[in-house]
Amino acid sequence: MTENYKMLLAYDGTRYYGWEHQPNTDMTIQGKLEAVLTKMTGMPVEVIGAGRTDAGVHAKGMVANAHMDTQLSEQEIYEYMNHYLPDDIAILEVHKAADRFHSRYNAVGKTYCYTLYVGNGKPLFNRKYVYVPDRLPDLEQMKKAAEYLTGEHDYASFCGNPKMKKSTVRIVDEITIKQTGSYVNITYHGSGFLQYMVRIMTGTLLEVGYGKRTPESMVDLLEAKDRSQAGFTVPAQGLCMMKVDY
């Protein structure tokens, strides 16, 4: 009997072309998961993810679901997947879910964290998971700018998809900026995020931190609804999906 399974997983996105299937490559997170589950069940399996992380982006708390017909227990599925998946993808939990559960449509919130390294040396062993800016930005100015970016807004200025036809209105209810030693974590929580949105917002906040923009200019930037008016897109490796809320 076919049942719906909910999976919690983590992955190092360094080698992959993002979550979603891409033409001419099998190096996607979705592709690797489906290949293992198809082998396990002996029939094609579609894996649905809570989000579509971009190439090079990591996850510590991605949620996915798949409808499968298998005699294996949840624990056996967990063990099978972790045995056959590459070492940079890990299944953390497997549970049966309601038949109508959909990891993307049922999600009510997501948390992403972008990490900067602002220490004096090289982040040798963390270099794949951080962005190293030229210098330490003014974090207090960035925090002021972040206040203007929270709430319910049209975030078209922070959307990396120029062909976006759906609504670009989202709710970002919290942006926190915290330095711990040589690292600065910028954490975003919201109802959902547009393509490259967190990375563009981070680049824009950094420009505020470098004095290239004022915190107050965020008001006009939101109203402009024009990607060319926002800041640069920070590299993918500093971004990690932390959690999905249901």
Structure tokens at 18: 């993002």
CA 131 to CA 210: how far, in whole Å? Answer: 16
Structure tokens at 134: 């030229």
Contacts of 193 (CB under 8 A, 6+ apart): 51, 110, 112, 170, 172
Burial (0-12, 13-18, 19+ Cβ within 10 Å), 98: exposed
Catalytic one of 54, 138, 173, 220: 54
Active site residue 154: no
CA 235 to CA 226: how far, in whole Å? Answer: 21
Q: Is 146 left (phi over 0), alpha (psi -120 to 50) or beta?
A: alpha
Cβ neighbours of 1 (radius 10 Å) = 5
Asked if 43 and 12 touch (Cβ cutoff 8 Å), the reply is no
3-state secondary structure at position 195? coil
Q: Which residues are catalytic?
A: 54
